[in-house]
Amino acid sequence: MNRKTKAGFITIGQSPRPYIMKSIRDILETTFDIIEDGALDGYNYDEILTVFPLNYDNDIVVTELSDNKEILININYLRPLIQKSIERLENSGAELIVLMCTGEMGFFRSNAFFVESSTIVRNIAEALGEGKRVGIFIPDEKQLTQMIKRWNSIKTAEIHALSPYLNADETEKIIEKYNNKKWDMVVLDCMGYTEEIKNIISEKLNTKVLLSRSVIARVVAELGCDI
């Protein structure tokens, strides 16, 4: 039996994230021994609001805590917390570490094989979206300015807010507003988006949909045991 590679997955919220990791485990668990860590592990909601006061002038990401509360946090607060997550996973024996966030985070130090999801999702979407009409959904309209910069290479891109944490009925009502867009492809630019949301968009808008978490899982799967 081949040895499994120990892979650490970092959420910018709190671990574990079973509804995100289930689909990833389905793809990777035969090859990888998966462990999780959360950048906000150990904090409660009120502590986060106090210790990391939100500044709308700086880049923001949206995540979810272990009690299912949605929270916005500035990327500059997260960077040192993510670095600590990397160190914890390395100490747990992780040979490969995946940052499960599509926000533009910048450079991190890691002795393990480090995978930053934001760059992979953006590059694949850019390659597939060249010359096409592309709709991009982001979690919160407060992120619009930073996301315009992130996606400025896709000249035809239209960026709209859609929370990943709505129920199916709420999601359907919002998606129906975009029936006239005739997009060739939709990019779901957050790890919080689910297969259910992907399917709703695909069916309602009759278009192809790029789900970030699936993209990352399949890229990591290609690495196999070669780490």
Give the mean pLDDT of 72-99. 97
Give the mean pLDDT of 136-165. 95
Question: CATH fold of 120-210, please?
Answer: Rossmann fold (3.40.50)
Q: Given the structure tokens 């100490």, which residue do they identify?
A: 91
pLDDT score at 226 = 55
DSSP H helices, the chain, are: 18-28, 45-51, 75-91, 117-129, 144-150, 168-175, 195-205, 212-223
Q: pLDDT at residue 84 above 80?
A: yes
* pLDDT band for position 166 (cuts 50, 70, 90): very high
Global pTM reads: 0.92
pLDDT score at 150 = 95
Distance between CA atoms of 200 and 206, rounded to whole angstroms?
Answer: 10
* pLDDT band for position 209 (cuts 50, 70, 90): very high
Cα-atom radius of gyration of the chain, to the nearest Å? 17
The class of domain 5-118+214-223 in CATH terms is: alpha beta
Mean pLDDT, all residues of the chain: 94
* pLDDT band for position 20 (cuts 50, 70, 90): confident
Structure confidence by residue, pLDDT tens digits, 96-117: 999 999 998 888 999 999 999 9
Q: pLDDT at residue 210 above 80?
A: yes
Residues of the chain with CATH 3.40.50.1860: 5-118+214-223, 120-210
